[in-house]
Amino acid sequence: MIQVENLYKSAKSKKLLAKRKQILRDVSIHAPAGKIVAIIGQNGAGKSTIIKTILGFICPDSGTVGVQDGISLGYLPENPYYYDYLTLRELLWFSASSFGVKRNDFIEKARAAVEKVGMQAELENRLRAFSKGMNQRAGIAAAIVHDPDLLILDEPMSGLDPVGRRMVFDLMNELRDRGRTILFCSHILSDVERLCDEVYIMHQGRIRRHLTREDLALTQKNVEIIVPYSDKAADLLTEPSYKAKRFANSLSVQADASQLNTLLDHLHNHNIPVEGVQSAAVSLEQVFNQIVTEEDVT
């Protein structure tokens, strides 16, 4: 549905006579129909720039952006600020009518949209009376009121309380189940991990890793081996490839699943008993931190 190929974008530096700053470097992203795709990265990594390029707000230096023809699009900007003199109903009407929704259909669509974000009671209230979280929910309602095929959300969980986050989480899942495509940026990695079919990890304007749902499952295939604590075991497991930690009278060792047999043989050869073996999940956050740290060191 969205195909971004080899995107490069630079911008003028704020410092006088300084070189142009490279914002995007060789970015390629594919968001297939019916999937939830996330772009994650630190602040300033270039996530919003990709979205703005897809939406045509900025022109890339080189590369191509392709969005499937004839689809309707819903967009939630980061930190949305809408015309605060409008009521929520007027905002939704502006959004829906610009997509050609007729007045008769609008009433039903507006009701459904506000229900999904829990703002039924706010329809006739002006946006200027809304809190940050309510504004965010209003923005999500405005993005989905016309039932778009493609939804682009820039930090959809930002400013939301746990109830609001849950609501958006459920909404995104529901939209995917109905065959809608969602591309979004987020800092909340636990949500990304649970929601997404594909994740692009960005750092310093580049895509550093592309993980599919299967990859995400694989990254979680680390193992943890527990052995009784002894000086001998501690000496043996100080190799850098094992991550050993002492917990009271036991020693916990984390290693890649591929190392499991070697490690078990090693422990057996030195007469160290094994108390237990369990899978140790590596979170997306750990993968992300590893990429960012690696990059910063190099």
Build a one-symbol-per-residue string for 146-175: x at contacts with another protein by CB under 8 A, - elsewhere.
------x-----------------------
Dist. CA 159–CA 133, nearest whole Å: 5
Build a one-symbol-per-residue string for 38-67: x at contacts with another protein by CB under 8 A, - elsewhere.
--------------x--xxxxx--------
Beta bridge partners of 21: 11
Match 């499952």 to its residue by tokens.
217
DSSP letters, 33-70, are: TT-EEEEEE-TTSSHHHHHHHHTTSS--SEEEEEE-TT
Q: Does 93 bind another protein (CB under 8 A)?
A: yes
From 77, 85, 87, 81, select the one nearest 110 (Cα to Cα): 87
Build a one-symbol-per-residue string for 7-26: x at contacts with another protein by CB under 8 A, - elsewhere.
----x---------------
Closest distance to another protein from the beta carbon of 56 (Å) = 8
Q: Does 71 bind another protein (CB under 8 A)?
A: no
Angle between helices 103-116 and 132-144 (to 10 degrees): 140
Beta strands, E only, 84-221? 150-154, 181-186, 198-203, 206-212
The residue within the footprint of another protein, chosen from 18, 85, 214, 240 (CB under 8 A), is 85
Dist. CA 271–CA 265, nearest whole Å: 10
Dist. CA 138–CA 80, nearest whole Å: 9
Dist. CA 203–CA 44, nearest whole Å: 9
Build a one-symbol-per-residue string for 109-148: x at contacts with another protein by CB under 8 A, - elsewhere.
------------------------------x--x------
Q: Which is nearer to another protein, 65 or 86 (CB)?
A: 86
Asked if 287 and 198 touch (Cβ cutoff 8 Å), the reply is no
Q: Which is nearer to another protein, 86 or 282 (CB)?
A: 86
Size of the site for another protein (CB under 8 A): 28
Q: Does 242 bind another protein (CB under 8 A)?
A: no
Q: Which is nearer to another protein, 90 or 149 (CB)?
A: 90
From 165, 172, 159, 166, select the one nearest 81 (Cα to Cα): 159
Range in contact with another protein (rule: CB under 8 A) among 13-21, 83-91, 110-118, 160-168: 83-91
Dist. CA 82–CA 79, nearest whole Å: 10
The residue within the footprint of another protein, chosen from 8, 28, 90, 243 (CB under 8 A), is 90
Range in contact with another protein (rule: CB under 8 A) among 26-34, 76-84, 104-112, 113-121: 76-84
Q: Does 73 bind another protein (CB under 8 A)?
A: yes
Q: Hey, is 219 helix, strand or coil?
A: helix
Q: Does 298 bind another protein (CB under 8 A)?
A: no
| Contact residues: another protein, CB under 8 A | 11, 52, 55-59, 73, 75, 77, 79-83, 85-86, 90, 93-95, 97-100, 139, 142, 152
